[in-house]
Amino acid sequence: MKKWLPILLILMMIIGSIPTWAATDFSNISATYDKESKRLTIEGETTNTAIALFVYKPNGDLINFTSRLLDNSTFTVIFEAINADVAGTYKVKLANYSGGEYTTATFTIAADNGNPPNPSNPNPPDTTPPVVTPPVTVPPVKPTEPNLEVVVKGSFEATGSYQIPLSELKEVDKLEIKGDISMIFDSKALEKIGITGDLEVTAKPVAVPVMDESLKKQIGDRPIYEFKVAVDGKPISQFGGGSITVSIPYMLKAGENPNAILVYYLDANGKVKTMKSKYENGQVTFTTNHFSKYAVGYNPITFSDVSEKDWYFEFVSYLSSRNLINGKAPLSFSPSAQITRAEVVTILSKMSGEELTIPKAAVFKDVKADDWYAASVYWAYKKGIIAGMSDMTFAPNQPISRQDLTVILAKYLEKVELTSLEEGQPAITFKDASEIAPYAKESVTTMQRAGILNGKANNAFDPKGNATRAEVTKVLTLLLKSLIQ
């Protein structure tokens, strides 16, 4: 039955007859924690066929999350490497894939003296569903100063839903919703949604859909969520030029490289797209302009000439796991090799996520239609990111200079991402500032003040020096992460 359940769920979705499982149909729930192995074992019985489990610290912080498809009424779920190092009562919440109220179990870690943290007030396991409190919202305050943001804050209910009446969303610049899942809607997204009635946002775990075996392996049992927005019951999935920043809790498994944790968008046709994302502080954060199903994935790529001790390891891991940069040869990255102008443009075209086309007529004399980089060079030319040389050549195989790299990145931000970087670092006057070409001075300052591209030893920028593949992986990783706020 277990192997047929995902297919059955998909068929039910197609014919519109998905059953609503009872969220509270759990019994005989136990949570057992082994301090030496740091292993938490959850056992119990349920009539549900697919469940989700959340583990919380005594202060309410989420430790880990997982989901399971079941083929019988009893289940055992084991969490490895659970850090229950603080004395107190830890909660385990259980629900089905459709959300609803949680069933709660607890386990208590005693203080170092062997006694419970509060023996006068023991906290026995609680197997009754908690009272669901409505979302707390703060009415917006009209700004009294220019550029003062109006922010409405709220919380997801236990069912994974958030509702707010129209009256509380007038003149709002940003909407923040907190919970196991956190979301931030910017003003452009709210404008695109066109809030003319009560707003409802939902975030719920879903079963694993039918997908390619290699992708299925990358996702494994990691969480898959479906996000929805509706105004007066009318669903809205596209947010135009607006963006929603979403954070999903995820606890690294033993041996996992955090730089290879990423987020996939799963469309209705089974195709996937890698989102701009980053993993920090136990959360995978990504930004999107549309809602659907999203999955946490893991795609580590290793090279024989890149080790965990190298300063560029995290940056090579980050870009290669997202298929933004490849090795120079099978299993070899060549971190010290100079990177070419064509290679940089190709990475940027992949970062954009846009469809590429081969030009019918040559734009540059030295770029042929059958060159592997032709579509990327054509894309960059159309976007206004590159202009080429004065003799209408692009010099695709020429190493890119550090100053030209800053110019191309600045234009990418302006023309493709339609944004600018926050200049949080004080400006530096490099000792070789006079050697920076006039056309590159502004972009060098921008990248330096944003902390994206710094100088070298002895306060030199080396504007005409060629960038290496390792250096560019660092620059582009920092750039990508800066776009995810």
pLDDT in tens, 401-434: 999 999 999 999 999 998 888 888 899 999 999 9
**What's the confidence (pLDDT) of residue 62?**
74
pTM higher than the cut 0.75: no
**What's the confidence (pLDDT) of residue 54?**
80
Residues 208-249: tens digit of each pLDDT:
666 677 777 888 889 899 999 998 889 988 888 889 999 999
For residues 154 and 161, the answer to whether their CB atoms sit within 8 Å is: no
**What's the confidence (pLDDT) of residue 111?**
56
pLDDT grade for 451, boundaries at 50, 70 and 90 = very high
Spatial CA neighbour of 443 closest among 467, 471, 463: 463
Mean pLDDT of 369-383: 94
**In DSSP terms, which residues pair with 245 in a beta bridge?**
184, 287
Residues 6+ apart with CB under 8 A from 106: 31, 89, 90, 91, 92, 123, 124, 125, 126
Look up residue 209 and give its two tokens. Answer: 């859909």
Mean pLDDT of 82-96: 81
Residues 6+ apart with CB under 8 A from 386: 345, 377, 380, 394, 408, 411
Spatial distance between the Cα atoms of 106 and 193, rounded to a whole number of angstroms: 40
Residues 140-157: tens digit of each pLDDT:
444 333 445 677 788 888
Between these two residues, 25 and 160, which has the higher pLDDT value?
160
Look up residue 448 and give its two tokens. Answer: 């330096």
Domains in the chain (CATH in brackets) are 2-109 (2.60.40.1930), 151-298 (2.60.220.50), 313-482 (no CATH)
